[in-house]
Structure 1
């Protein structure tokens, strides 16, 4: 009995110590917290230096993050949101829910970065992924004129889906409705998020899937499989920079800042290439993994500024919805 009492006392003490640790809650997208995503490694690495508990909460895909935080407002359980991108920054800023930070880093991005609220952690180019031995359309017009079947994501819930709207709008402007009309019969299905779309593609449900130029690196490095490729389009490929920010209402402001600074450290950035399968925002000390040098690099990069993206978003969404409803 004495041994049981001692054991119970130790367990109680251990639980008390764990309960005393501050908890940082980070909302992010589902694929980030998956077993194969960055989440498990990020949690282990940050908890090793923060003397805290990192609680990563998966919230569908990127665009759904902003909707949830906007709905929860100042009562959100989140301290940090990780998974927005440049197409959502202006809308996120307008909520007034996010606070500046003092993160400093030597960013290795294709664009200059001066925002003191939204901190980048990775980047990449949207692209259609296909079998490497297939002849893939080289632009949107050729894709629309072909019998190629594609799977895309919903722009209302998914950052890749929204990125595709911006891509078409940036490339074609007022001709975007014509492009969408042509693409409408190529679209097999529209999924809520990236994971579902990519899974359906791997199951053979389409010829191409909206993803990233970096996606083939997963198959090459993790599976020793060179059977997938990404297309560089003649119009250019749209750039995505993914960002994180702390909530102004957080009661863990100091810990949130520590996490954001950790996010641009080597400990975090070296995890990104082979778990999130994107380019890191800060080049890791050991550089990029072997295999990234074989990836498609678009000759032309397209990108709306955050304010430009916010200005054209509603129109681009209406054009997409109209085309798919015909």
Structure 2
């Protein structure tokens, strides 16, 4: 190779490297299952990067609540531009930190089973909390909380900690909504069936799949993964007679973000058909916008609860510590 060609090649590589380095990097803190190779993160990253000529960096933490705490600890020095993965039950807690920016998006026409309004957090998917089981092993699953508490002593469930996990908090609110002032008494009855309480969803679901427990707190949409990806029909969600507590997952922009314009484009992208078509078979939930493609036909096999419970975020924030203390007191005896 001549010196001229070497020089030209060096200049070309330098320009290419410089062009790559000048791309803005949008950093998004979220829960670990979202960032997993089989999760929604990689597909969403690819689609958004192609659309906006940027880099997207997902930072996975064991839970969305953990991601919020990470941001709080980092304060103004956080590298996060967006927090993604909290739900409406905990978003009010995040709002009180004063760390998040108003989104200025119209969310009034989203396809949600409940009314939604929040200045900072934007919804991107939803589902219902449920107890998932293996129908090959459990022929007669409990179909209510009373039936669950009345199962034989060796019947075990895996749940998540409501202090660190949105599904864990969802179960806490689900039981509170049904049993009201007697929620503590119910937890005492349920406690002998709790095999363990994990920090996040991934750990608990992994234990369940290993056969460590008969049921795990997850979602009505979780069986879709096994049906579509594994061609297995044995994983099902128990359709509880009382109804099911819902989850609407949300995202918001940090006031400290250095890429606010790009971050707002990402929030808007969450309501695009591209994003919505990724959600059902990557995050295993319902998107908040309808698309021409529609839901996979396998979603027609899933249980759809007759009733969704969803407390206002302000009510949850005002009472969350009391509910958690009640839970701790009940399960520790």
2:142 is aligned to: 137
Whole-angstrom CA distance in 1 between matches of 2:226 and 2:165: 23
- What does 1:213-252 align with in structure 2 at a 5 Å threshold? 213-252=220-259
Structure 1: unaligned runs, 5 residues or longer? none
Whole-angstrom CA distance in 1 between matches of 2:8 and 2:47: 32
> Is the aligned partner of 1:15 residue 2:22?
no
1:114 is aligned to: 117
Which residue among 321, 325, 330 is the counterpart of 1:318?
A: 325
Shift in Å, 1:4: 4.5
Which residue among 82, 106, 109 is the counterpart of 2:84?
A: 82
Whole-angstrom CA distance in 2 between matches of 1:165 and 1:70: 24
Whole-angstrom CA distance in 1 between matches of 2:126 and 2:97: 24
CA offsets, 1:80-117, max 9 Å, x none?
A: 10001011111111000011112235311001223231
> Is the aligned partner of 1:73 residue 2:78?
no
* Alignment length (residue pairs): 326
SS in structure 1 at match of 2:306: coil
Shift in Å, 1:70: 1.7
> Is the aligned partner of 1:209 residue 2:216?
yes
Which residue among 263, 266, 277 is the counterpart of 1:256?
A: 263
SS in structure 1 at match of 2:98: coil
CA offsets, 1:55-96, max 9 Å, x none?
A: 111111121122112222222110110001011111111000
2:287 is aligned to: 280
SS in structure 2 at match of 1:201: helix
Structure 1 consecutive aligned stretches of length 4 or more whose deviation exceeds 6 Å: none
SS in structure 2 at match of 1:152: strand
- TM normalised by structure 2 equals 0.95
- State the superposition RMSD in angstroms: 1.3
- TM normalised by structure 1 equals 0.97
